Amino acid sequence: MSRRPAAGTLVVAAAQVAPVWLDRARTVAKVVRWISRAADRGAGLVAFGEALVPGYPWWIEHTDGARFNSPVQKALHAHYLEQAVDLEAGDLDSVCSVARRRKIAVALGTIERPRDRGGHSAYCSLVYVAPNGEIASVHRKLMPTYEERLSWATGDGHGLVTHRLGRFTVGALNCWENWMPLARTALYAQGEDLHVASWPGNDYNTRDVTRFAAREGRSYVVAASALMRRRDIPDSVPHAATLRRALPPVMGNGGSCIAGPDGEWIVPPVTGREALVVREITHRRVLEERQNFDAMGHYGRPDVLQLTVDRRRQRRSEEHTSELQSRLHLVCRLLLEKK
């Protein structure tokens, strides 16, 4: 067991692991084990890669994924939905349980099948589990990138929120959302000073934007990437043999890393292996770097520039009842009770 962090510090971890690809239950079990490993190292926060549970849809790019009415693509998509995360069904209960037991926050990339959108579409959702084991937010990716749009639906702003963790304020975004200036600004405006960037894998994604976002936000940035190799394709996946022939030996080489609020590396990108990247960070460094730049504070100009964020959860249907209708319902109910 590691020592308890000093006041104003936090131990953060990026768990760079390969999923048991397209197998929700076994991948969740692996996530639980790595959460415990991070807690054993004294971590108060552990972050995982984008879409880790049950995995990123690597097949689309390499198997003619845009072919309309392809039986292969339909079979793979159906399997993907079957293995996606249903939060209402308790698919992440074991993650919440270990977070509560070990008192550690978890940022976990998932593919979600939300019932409030009918339950038959996939959303790339970044789930934040608080140290008390409660799911504090679910951020559905605003805009899937390139071939992801053949599999994932577009999200909303409901999860563009931050969470207090000790002296830090934590926010998180999925993959190329980290390149979206207004998405970053929506988190800066809430006092974010510890940013989680969740990626499916590959250091070519993390090596530039991680340092840039850290320097712009004068925040710590923890970039958590997954791994994915041809050998990680299990026999349980439909057309597994076809996929092994079509996909390259390595699809995601990792790239997990940590940058400080000055934009310099604390841990440069780690590639080619499963790893738990752990470091202790100090909140005072944020205060030091914001002496010369604070995007939402002394360097902000809200009289000139403002951002409007719609954080309503988009649902398949909404019921709106006018005040007059409500009063009429009440009168009718009272009249019936008198009879």
Element of type H or E holding 71: helix 71-83
Q: Helices 181-188 and 203-217, interaxial angle, to 10°?
A: 50
Which segment of 5-19, 31-45, 180-194 scores lowest on mean pLDDT? 5-19
Q: What is the pLDDT of residue 117?
A: 93
Confidence of residue 322 (pLDDT cuts 50, 70, 90): low
Task: Decide if pLDDT at 320 tops 60.
Answer: no
CB 99 within 8 Å of CB 129 = yes
CA-wise closest residue to 51 among 109, 95, 107: 109
Task: Decide if pLDDT at 1 tops 60.
Answer: no
E-only strand ranges, the chain: 9-16, 45-47, 105-112, 123-129, 135-140, 163-165, 168-174, 194-199, 220-225, 227-229, 250-259, 265-271, 275-282
Q: What is the pLDDT of residue 325?
A: 66
Strand partners, 271: 254
pLDDT tens, residue by residue, 78-111: 999 999 999 999 999 999 999 999 999 999 999 9
DSSP β-ladder status, 227-229 and 250-259: antiparallel
Q: What's the DSSP call for residue 143?
A: S
Q: What is the pLDDT of residue 6?
A: 78
Question: How much is the pTM?
Answer: 0.90
The C-alpha atoms of residue 57 and residue 223 are separated, in whole angstroms, by: 20
Q: What is the pLDDT of residue 315?
A: 84
235 is catalytic: yes
**Rounded to 5 degrees, what are φ and ψ at 185?**
-65, -35
Task: Decide if pLDDT at 283 tops 60.
Answer: yes
Q: What is the pLDDT of residue 316?
A: 73
The C-alpha atoms of residue 101 and residue 35 are separated, in whole angstroms, by: 11
Tokens standing for 271? 């590639």
- The residue-averaged pLDDT of 254-273 equals 98
> The tokens 């997954």 sit on which residue?
226
CB 174 within 8 Å of CB 193 = no
DSSP β-ladder status, 163-165 and 135-140: unpaired
pLDDT tens, residue by residue, 136-177: 999 999 999 999 999 999 999 999 999 999 999 999 999 999
Output the average pLDDT for the chain: 94
CA-wise closest residue to 256 among 277, 281, 278: 277
Q: What's the DSSP call for residue 5?
A: P
The C-alpha atoms of residue 309 and residue 301 are separated, in whole angstroms, by: 17
Q: Provide the percentage of residues in the chain whose pLDDT is more than 90.
A: 90
**Number of other residues whose CB lies within 10 A of the CB of residue 267:** 18
Q: Is the peptide bond before 54 cis (omega within 30 degrees of 0)?
A: yes
pLDDT tens, residue by residue, 117-139: 999 999 999 999 999 999 999 99
| Catalytic one of 86, 156, 203, 235 | 235
Higher-pLDDT residue of 311 and 321 is: 311
